[in-house]
Structure 1
Amino acid sequence: MTPSFSRRRRLLAVAALACAAGPLHAQSFPTKPITLIVPWPAGGSTDRHHRLLAELAGKHLGQNIVIENRPGGGGTLGPGNMAMTARPDGYTISQFPLGMLRIPHMQKVPWDPLKDFTFIMGVSGYTFGFTVRSDSPYKTFNDYIEAARKNPGKIDYGSTGIGSSPHLLLEEVAINAKVQLNHIPFKGNADLQSALLGGHVMAQSDATGWDKFVDSGQMRLLVTFGERRTKRWPQVPTAQELGYNVVSQSPYGLVGPKGMDPAVVKVIHDAFKKAIDDPRHAELMEQLNQEVWYRTGDEYQRWARETYAKDKALIERLGLAAK
């Protein structure tokens, strides 16, 4: 046997072993708990959603999925840190909020939102609303905007962070209405709700973390930002109805670090797809007034690429692009 032929045989054997290792790893995955990063504080709507998803998917995986709250950076700190530090072995994954595709246009970040992640699946989108305390002088959203028109820069609102969807949709409203609002960013839903209830901000733009406060009469919901009125609060108009020409859903999904084994991605995807289809999940979606936005990993990645390009134009139009 010639040396070159022997070398070829060894290379073929190594290649065959490498091919075999992938499926074997996927068959044994997972062998320990998985960490799911939620880049918002505990207690908000996103946290509530992912805790149930983790519970349901964990049953199908045969391992616990542990929620780790890492708020900050408008929802980008947790996933961004994961991309830079976590091993692509499937044991660390994260929610991927829309801000991940916007904030890189607004400031320098050490990660690339398209190249540094493995897209696992699209999950859902938010119902955004604008609320005030029940004793607020603003009875309607038009009342609030009119106050801003009379007092430029003195009428404030809170959101879940600079560059987050609740922030940008209000800034888009302000541009369309030709008013100046004073934006106050918070780390997440829980901090924002407390600030509004404590009278530290006049109003808030947020996803449905405010639902229980609206239903209990502590807050007044003035407007929502979907394409149509919500089933849960059908008496509340949309921003589009009121003529502000803003519609926002802000879809989100699950990602891991770049370079994950496709077979492992499929195991995680399939478990979370079963979780999404569970009746308990449908019940929570109704409570949060959200709809399922399921996409495969490939579909989610394609959507992210298109949205990243489209939102660059939005950021520039709002005057928020990095200099």
Structure 2
Amino acid sequence: MGMMSRRQVLGALSAAAFGPASARLMAQPGERFPVRPITLWVPWPAGGATDLTMRLLAELAGRQLGQRVLVENRAGAGGTLAMPVLQQAAPDGYTIAQLPQPALRAPHIQKVLWDPIRDTTPIIQISGVTFGVVVPGGSALKTLDDVFAWAKAHPGELTVSTNGVGTTPHVVFDELFAKRGLAYVHVPYKGTSEQMLAVSSGQVMVGINSNGFAPFVDSGKLRLLVTFGEHRTKRWPTVPTLKELGLGIVATSPYGLVGPRGMPPAVVAVLHDAFKAAMNDPAHIAELAKYDQELVYLDAEDYGRSLKESFAAEKRAVERLGLNKGG
């Protein structure tokens, strides 16, 4: 009896020491999943456009799964702070995260301890975003060419806000200005709401971001000069694209959901099916439409392939722009 007790104690200690390994055993095909709430990490501030759409998606997916999907925010560092969480989490399906484009770019710009391909299991691609350049509603800057002209006439004085260093808005604007030999003062913000308030009140002259500028543009507090998509948006059909202006840039930063490395295929399949049903729910589609977003679905396999291609493309872009100073 004493020996059995000791074995049980040793077994319990072993399981505690090797949590992820035991989680893998618990998540074998055939076992029911999920049996408790799932945590979805969103690497953006609460209350922003991405957060709001992801919270609705989590609620809808929870109904499919029969368990709540709890959203946790970890904002900052240009949308990359969910990666360390995934790297340390058990690959049992109970910890997942939104993977934004900056997570594919950051490792090429600075030294990080994680790898967005090596350390994740792709689940599903959901959507992309509408990026744009905005100025205050009463600004004298009416077009993107006006912005370039002002920057040329006032070297190093133009204040430009983005949602963080190394984010898509920052990289795109840096490329546009570098090609023209122009300088600007970069003002990064953690949250879209804070940033848009700063632009609309004139604290900064220009803002570049996605989604969250929509209510400000529609109310006239901000003027949208250009968008970054392949085509003009349905919501603002009079606003040109960078591609249309001959600038050769299309950027929509598609995003999806991933889990830690080594998740069992059966668990991935359950999560994929639940979130696919959720993303196609009319309520979610309507929420995306508020920010001029559409569904851009890829299954786990295709999403994984796309992530690898994007990771390689980001490396080329960072090297071209000379942003890999810390790499």
Greater than 3 Å deviation, 4+ residue runs: 18-21
Describe the superposition over 1:29-64 as per-residue Cα deviations: whole angstroms up to 9, x where unpaired.
Answer: 111111111100112221121011111111101111
> Could you say what secondary structure the match of 1:294 adopts?
strand
Q: Letter of the 1:74 partner, please give it.
A: G
One-letter identity of the residue aligned with 1:230? T
Distance (whole Å) between structure 2 residues aligned to residue 86 and residue 194 of structure 1: 36
1:44 matches 2:48: yes
**What is the alpha-carbon root mean square deviation over aligned residues?**
1.7
Corresponding letter in the other structure for 2:279:
I
How far apart are 1:197 and its partner, in Å? 2.9
Q: What residue identity is the alignment partner of 1:162?
A: V
User: Aligned match of 1:258 in 258, 261, 266?
Assistant: 261
Is 2:103 the partner of 1:100? yes
Whether the 8 Å contact between 1:177 and 1:244 is mirrored in structure 2 is no
Deviation at 1:20, TM superposition (A): 10
Residue 73 and residue 20 in structure 1: after superposition, are their counterparts in 2 closer, same or farther (change >3 A)?
A: closer
Instruction: State the alpha-carbon separation in 2 of the partners of residues 177 and 278 from structure 1.
Output: 45
Alpha-carbon distance, 1:293 to partner: 1.3
Structure 2 equivalent of residue 110 of structure 1: 113
Q: Secondary structure at 1:119's aligned position in 2?
A: strand
Once residues 261 and 322 of structure 1 are traced to their aligned partners in structure 2, the CA distance between those partners, rounded to angstroms, is 37
- From 35, 53, 57, give the equivalent of 1:53: 57
For the residues of structure 2 that align with 1:21 and 1:73, how far apart are their CA atoms?
A: 32
Query: Does the alignment pair 1:24 with 2:30?
Result: yes
Deviation of the 1:21 alpha carbon: 6.8
Determine if contact 1:160/1:185 at 8 Å carries over to the other structure: yes
Find out whether 1:69 has 2:91 as its counterpart. no
- Cα distance in 2, alignment partners of residues 208 and 137 from structure 1: 23
Number of corresponding residues: 303
- 1:126-275 → structure 2 map (5 Å cutoff): 126-275=129-278
Give the partner amino acid of 2:120: F
**Cα distance in 2 for residues equivalent to 1:20 and 1:95:** 24
Could you give the per-residue CA deviations for residues 204-233 of structure 1, whole angstroms, max 9, x where no partner exists?
Answer: 100010100111111111111111111100
- Output the CA distance in 2 between the equivalents of 1:274 and 1:308: 28
Partners of 2:27 and 2:33 within 8 A in 1? no
Are the aligned partners of 2:131 and 2:169 in contact in 1 as well (CA < 8 Å)?
Answer: yes
DSSP 3-state at the match of 2:47: coil
In structure 2, C-alpha distance between the alignment counterparts of 1:89 and 1:191, rounded to whole Å: 36
Question: Could you say which residue in structure 1 is the equivalent of 2:10?
Answer: none
Q: C-alpha displacement at 1:19, in angstroms? A: 9.2
Gaps of 5+ in 1: 1-17
Q: Do the aligned partners of 1:74 and 1:162 also contact (CA within 8 Å) in 2?
A: yes
Report what 2:9 is aligned to.
none
8 A Cα contact 2:160 2:206, kept in partner:
yes
Q: Give yes or no for contact 1:105–1:322 (8 Å, CA) kept in 2.
A: no
Tell me which amino acid in the other structure corresponds to 1:73.
Answer: A
Measure, in 1, the Cα distance between the counterparts of 2:181 and 2:55.
Answer: 40
SS class of match (2:247): coil
